[in-house]
Amino acid sequence: MEETFVPSESLMQLHRVELSLLEELKRVCKENGLKYYASGGTLLGAVRHKGFIPWDDDIDVRMMWGDFKKLMEIAPDVFKAPFFFQTYKTGPYDELSNARLRRSDTTGCTKWEFDNIKTSLHNRGIFLDVFPLFPIPKDPMLKSEQKKLIDEAWRVIRGWNAVQNIKAGFPSAYEEYIPDWEAVGQYYTIEQVKQRYIDACAIVGEGEDYDEIGETAFRTHDERFIWKRTWYEENIELPFEDTTIACPKKYNEILTKQYGDWRTPVYSPSMHEMYIFDVDTPYNDRKDLF
């Protein structure tokens, strides 16, 4: 498949915007002593293709929760227009499972964003995903409590999403969760509920012992996305298109757990994050998105 797939000109243009986002993230991380790690299809592309998987259309990285928190704190000062670091704290409509470094002078949104966020208040520039890595509780009872707290908060947040869509005159796939929001929303703001969600993800406190880390905020306790802490202790730089990208030295262990036989290319339409993209038009000029 790899030999026969030829990226379109529009996809190559998108790749160039993604690389500009990567360079900006690298600059900020280097200047502020933060570590990031290529992840998912981006890590696979760096190792196997020395760049993008030919049919992939975005860049994904991971950061330890501590560094991720620091990046959120400094983002308003270190990222200048057209770059915008979007997190669960930048607006009520912004997602909490990951952050996105976006280019506000472009347009790029996922199918989920298109279907579920009907407001111009949400930045829809082409993006690079940043996923926080949280310590996994060693105590089975604490791990069970964590999942319960995350699931409860998730239902409330999706109920709030549904209410906003209905108010705007659009259907929602999350209408069944409206009662969850109605029960909680009279006491707490959506911002407070999102913080409760993140607090549950970070239930292992600083200084506490742990052996594993995972994308808890994105895929709670999915074994494919839980890794040994030691696998992320050392980074190496690998070629990525015309630049380099930081990768965990134990990339073989990480990729094998997530993908199995990662050395054999398999075309995956699910890797297409950009449901709509336009490298030349700012998202605010695309009225068809709202």
Q: What is the pLDDT of residues 55-113, one digit of tens each?
A: 999 999 999 999 999 999 999 999 999 999 999 999 989 988 899 999 999 999 999 99
Instruction: Give SS3 for 178.
Output: helix
Q: Report domain extents, the chain.
A: 9-132+231-289, 140-201
What's the pLDDT tens digit per position in 136-159?
A: 999 999 999 999 999 999 999 999
Is the pLDDT higher at 1 or at 32?
32
CATH class of 9-132+231-289: alpha beta
Cα separation of 235 and 248, whole Å?
5
Mean pLDDT of all residues belonging to the chain? 93
Whether the pLDDT of residue 244 is over 90: the answer is yes
267-278 pLDDT per residue, tens: 776 556 789 999
Nearest in space to 130 (alpha carbons), one of 61, 70, 75: 61
Q: How far apart are CA 59 and CA 129, in angstroms?
A: 6
pLDDT for the residue 96: 83
146 three-class SS = helix
Has residue 2 got a pLDDT over 70? no
